[in-house]
């Protein structure tokens, strides 16, 4: 419930649409300060992209280490049905669509915004449908054992797989 409440707050107080009062949609940019891909997108791609398109939407940067942000990202990924194998940083949510990873953000974000600009009503309909989806909260049965299991976790800063594993 708390992640959905935070998501609602992030999306302008409504789970039905992420549109501001003046009609601008909200673009959510989820990033990690430790992620080299996030740094590259923020430094090399976003300045030009925002200069060209930034007046058409409200842009919000969300650090996944801030309380509630990672839960909001997970909730959006569930609603957009992002496969586990495709989850990485940075992640951008816009108009019912989720792009994850440096290459998809660089290659597909501009065409996504262009599609929105050419037909905003259609994209708003997609977003309403996505945000209305219920998150599947069913959990597989878990059996507990009296044995102790030791786990050694090795990771590399900035690696998408390591980052996801660390969060879990």
* 3-state DSSP percent of the chain in helix, strand and coil, to 5: 50, 15, 40
Q: What is the pLDDT of residue 122?
A: 80
Q: What is the DSSP letter of 42?
A: I
Of 92, 87, 8, 100, the C-alpha closest to 46 is 92
The 10s digit of each residue's pLDDT in 100-147 is 999 999 999 999 999 999 988 887 777 777 767 655 544 555 566 667
Q: Kindly tell me the burial class for residue 133, based on how many C-beta atoms sit within 10 Å of its own C-beta (0-12, 13-18, 19 or more).
A: exposed
Q: What is the pLDDT of residue 132?
A: 72
Q: What is the pLDDT of residue 142?
A: 56
Q: Does residue 19 carry a pLDDT above 90?
A: no
Distance CA 45, CA 68 (A): 26
Are the C-beta atoms of 28 and 94 separated by less than 8 Å?
yes
Q: What is the DSSP letter of 125?
A: H
Helix or strand holding residue 91 (H, E) = strand 91-94
- Residue 146 vs residue 31, higher pLDDT: 31
**Cis amide bond preceding 162, omega within 30:** no
Q: What is the pLDDT of residue 1?
A: 43
Are the C-beta atoms of 71 and 41 separated by less than 8 Å?
no
pLDDT band for position 164 (50/70/90)? low
The arrangement of strands across the sheet holding 91-94 comes to: 58-63, 26-31, 91-94, 97-100
Q: Does residue 154 carry a pLDDT above 60?
A: yes
The 10s digit of each residue's pLDDT in 35-68 is 999 999 999 999 999 999 999 999 999 999 888 8
Among 32-46, 72-86, 140-154, the range scoring the smallest mean pLDDT is 140-154
Give this prediction's pTM: 0.69
Q: Which residue bears the tokens 């992030």?
A: 10
Percent with pLDDT over 90 in the chain: 37
pLDDT band for position 79 (50/70/90)? confident
User: Which string of b and e fits 4-18 if b means at least 16 CB within 10 Å?
Assistant: eebbbebbeeeeebb
Q: What is the pLDDT of residue 37?
A: 94
């Amino acid at each position: 419930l708390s992640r959905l409440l935070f998501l609602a707050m992030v999306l302008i107080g409504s789970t039905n649409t992420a549109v501001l009062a003046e009609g601008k949609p909200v673009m959510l940019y989820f990033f990690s300060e430790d992620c080299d891909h996030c740094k590259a997108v923020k430094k090399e791609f976003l300045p030009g992209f925002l200069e060209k398109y930034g007046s058409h939407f409200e842009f919000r940067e969300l650090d996944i280490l801030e309380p509630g942000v990672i839960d909001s990202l997970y909730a959006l990924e569930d609603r957009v049905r992002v496969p586990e194998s495709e989850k990485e940083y940075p992640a951008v949510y816009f108009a019912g669509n989720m792009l994850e990873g440096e290459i998809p953000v660089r290659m597909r974000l501009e065409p996504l915004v262009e599609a929105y600009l050419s037909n905003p009503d259609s994209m708003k309909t997609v977003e309403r449908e996505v945000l209305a989806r219920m998150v599947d909260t069913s959990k597989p049965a878990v059996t507990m054992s009296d044995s102790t299991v030791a786990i050694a976790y090795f990771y590399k800063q900035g690696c998408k797989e390591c980052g996801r594993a660390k969060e879990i």
